[in-house]
């Protein structure tokens, strides 16, 4: 083999080797590019999934939750609304609703005469009493409304309201007695009332029969 022919073969071998090196370099570059693209896709997928992320300014901050607000006294609000809705008027005309007997008793429409007769005879035992002595008119009205409502809610059937005989009032007239009668007639819980027997206060008190109610402690 001549020297020239061998030189050509050597050049061809070097050329093939360089070509292989280029191909390997291109393959490596392509693999690196694909790896970078894959990492970029992963970062984009994370950002797309969780949205924009704002780095914390400080890693040592502690955040405390605000204390929970106190629960609203809803039952109290409802009761107050009921009081306003059931406000008892001093101008209410009670005369047409009272039985004209010697003691002016009251019975709600649909309640028979036997109920007031039994009430006057002590058929129902008196379970609670409210004494309105010494109270102003507005104070007495509020106290009476709360007393009747609470008694009914706790299952009480029969109560006594002491309003006095009015002997200490100007003109010695029983002003509070008439007001108490008007107020009681306007309370839906009241079925009937009669003047108390002498041993229970006589003309200075009323015995009141309430509608049956479910017993509630609160």
Secondary structure letter of residue 215 according to DSSP = -
- The answer to pTM > 0.85 is no
The two tokens of residue 90 are 């001093």
Query: In this predicted structure, what is the pLDDT of residue 78?
Result: 59
Q: What is the pLDDT of residues 111-151, one digit of tens each?
A: 999 999 999 999 999 999 999 988 999 999 999 999 999 99
DSSP letter for each residue of 150-214: HHHHTT--EEEEE----TTSGGG--HHHHHHHHHHHT-TTEEEEEEPPGGGTGGGEEEEEEPP--
**Rounded alpha-carbon distances, angstroms, from residue 167 to 6, 11, 133, 161, 209:** 149, 141, 11, 17, 26
Whether the pLDDT of residue 10 is over 50: the answer is yes
Whether the pLDDT of residue 72 is over 90: the answer is no
9 or 49, greater pLDDT: 9
Query: In this predicted structure, what is the pLDDT of residue 145?
Result: 95
Euclidean distance between CA atoms 162 and 171, whole angstroms: 20
CATH architecture assignment, domain 92-210: 2-Layer Sandwich (3.30)
Residue whose C-alpha is closest to residue 207's, from 97, 123, 87, 146: 123
Residue 104 Rama label (left phi>0; alpha psi -120 to 50; beta): left
How many residues would you count in the chain? 218
Whether the pLDDT of residue 64 is over 80: the answer is no
Q: What is the pLDDT of residues 12-56, one digit of tens each?
A: 777 787 788 788 878 787 878 888 877 777 776 655 555 565 655
Residue 138 buriedness (CB in 10 A; 0-12 / 13-18 / 19+): exposed
DSSP letter for each residue of 3-17: HHHHHHHHHHHHHHH
The full set of domain ranges for the chain reads 1-52, 92-210
Euclidean distance between CA atoms 33 and 200, whole angstroms: 105
Q: What is the pLDDT of residues 156-213, one digit of tens each?
A: 999 999 998 865 555 444 679 889 999 999 999 999 999 999 988 898 999 999 999 7
């Amino acid at each position: 083999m001549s020297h020239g022919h061998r030189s050509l073969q050597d050049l061809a071998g070097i050329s093939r080797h360089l070509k292989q090196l280029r191909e390997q370099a291109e393959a490596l570059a392509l693999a690196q590019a694909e790896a970078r693209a894959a990492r970029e896709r992963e970062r984009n997928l994370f950002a797309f999934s969780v949205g924009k992320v704002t780095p914390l300014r400080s890693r040592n901050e502690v955040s405390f939750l605000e204390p929970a607000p106190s629960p609203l006294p809803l039952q109290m609000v409802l009761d107050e609304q009921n009081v306003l809705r059931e406000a008892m008027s001093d101008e209410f005309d009670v005369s047409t609703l009272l039985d004209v007997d010697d003691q002016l008793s009251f019975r709600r429409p649909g309640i028979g005469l036997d109920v007031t007769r039994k009430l006057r005879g002590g058929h129902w035992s008196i379970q609670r009493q409210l004494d309105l002595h010494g109270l102003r008119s507005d104070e007495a009205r509020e106290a009476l409304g709360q007393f009747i409502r609470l008694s009914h809610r706790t299952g009480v059937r029969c109560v006594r309201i002491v309003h006095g005989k009015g002997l200490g009032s100007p003109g010695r007239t029983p002003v509070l007695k008439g007001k108490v009668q008007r107020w009681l007639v306007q309370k839906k819980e009241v079925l009937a009332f009669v003047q108390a027997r002498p041993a229970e206060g006589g003309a200075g008190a009323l015995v009141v029969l309430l509608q049956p109610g479910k017993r509630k402690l609160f």
